[in-house]
């Protein structure tokens, strides 16, 4: 085996190791990044594009870092893997969010919360977390019993909450990070 071939195999091995370490460390760093970028695993829209983007970005970044590094191929590979994984993760999360908006029939932002075009905005406070329905509830397009029912939340069903109206009577139900309707807060509890 020639020295060049051995060097290429070692560099490729380092690239793969750096990518694997980046993905293993992702849950730790994801919590720090989740508020701004969504982290490597913290995207608030469902789907696998973020994780796939992180893996592909990590591999491409590792190869690019290895090729660009002059003196220390190992460090270049590791840095490239980290940067590539972050960029791929961000791009994948944006694709997931775009898909969620399309599925909701379009989205607008109200009080810093993404809301489906089919839902009326109400003054509210942004909240996060999971709630459980005590009974089967109508999912309404507005924060009033006079608003059109656009679906339901079944008794015992856990759902994502995005906001609470200022009067505290209604919870905005989220799906993939987009508000899709309101349920009465009197019939739900925090999971």
Q: How confident is the model at residue 16 (pLDDT cuts 50, 70, 90)?
A: low
Write the Ramachandran bin of 151: left for phi over 0, alpha for psi from -120 to 50, otherwise beta: left
d(CA 161, CA 28): 25
Helix, strand, coil shares of the chain as percentages rounded to 5?
A: 45, 25, 30
What is the average per-residue pLDDT within 111-128?
A: 88
pLDDT of residue 2: 63
Q: Are strands 149-153 and 137-140 parallel, antiparallel or unpaired?
A: antiparallel
Mean pLDDT along residues 98-126:
76
Q: Which of 113, 97, 111, 87 minimizes the C-alpha distance to 22?
A: 87
The angle subtended at Cα 181 by Cα 178 and Cα 182, nearest 5°, is 125
Q: What pLDDT is recorded for position 121?
A: 85
Kindly indicate the confidence band of residue 61, based on its pLDDT and cuts at 50, 70 and 90. confident
3-state secondary structure of 180: strand
- Tell me, what's the pLDDT at 28? 38
* Cα 99 to Cα 45: distance, rounded to the nearest angstrom: 9
């Amino acid at each position: 085996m020639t020295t060049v071939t051995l060097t290429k195999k070692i560099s490729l091995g380092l690239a793969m190791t750096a990518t694997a370490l980046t993905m293993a460390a992702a849950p730790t760093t994801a919590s720090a990044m989740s508020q701004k970028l969504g982290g490597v695993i913290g995207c608030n829209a469902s789907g696998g594009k973020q994780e796939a983007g992180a893996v592909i970005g990590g591999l491409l970044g590792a190869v690019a870092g290895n090729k660009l590094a002059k003196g220390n191929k190992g460090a270049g590979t590791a840095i490239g893997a980290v940067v590539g994984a972050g960029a791929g993760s961000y791009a994948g999360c944006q694709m997931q969010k775009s898909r969620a908006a399309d599925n909701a029939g379009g989205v607008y932002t109200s009080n810093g919360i993404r809301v489906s075009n089919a839902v009326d905005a109400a003054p509210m406070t942004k909240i996060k977390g999971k709630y459980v329905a005590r009974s089967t509830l109508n999912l309404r397009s507005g924060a009033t019993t006079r608003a059109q029912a656009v679906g339901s939340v079944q008794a015992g069903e856990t759902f994502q909450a995005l906001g609470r109206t200022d009067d505290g009577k209604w919870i905005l139900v989220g799906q993939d990070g987009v508000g899709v309707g309101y349920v009465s807060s009197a019939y739900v509890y925090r999971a």
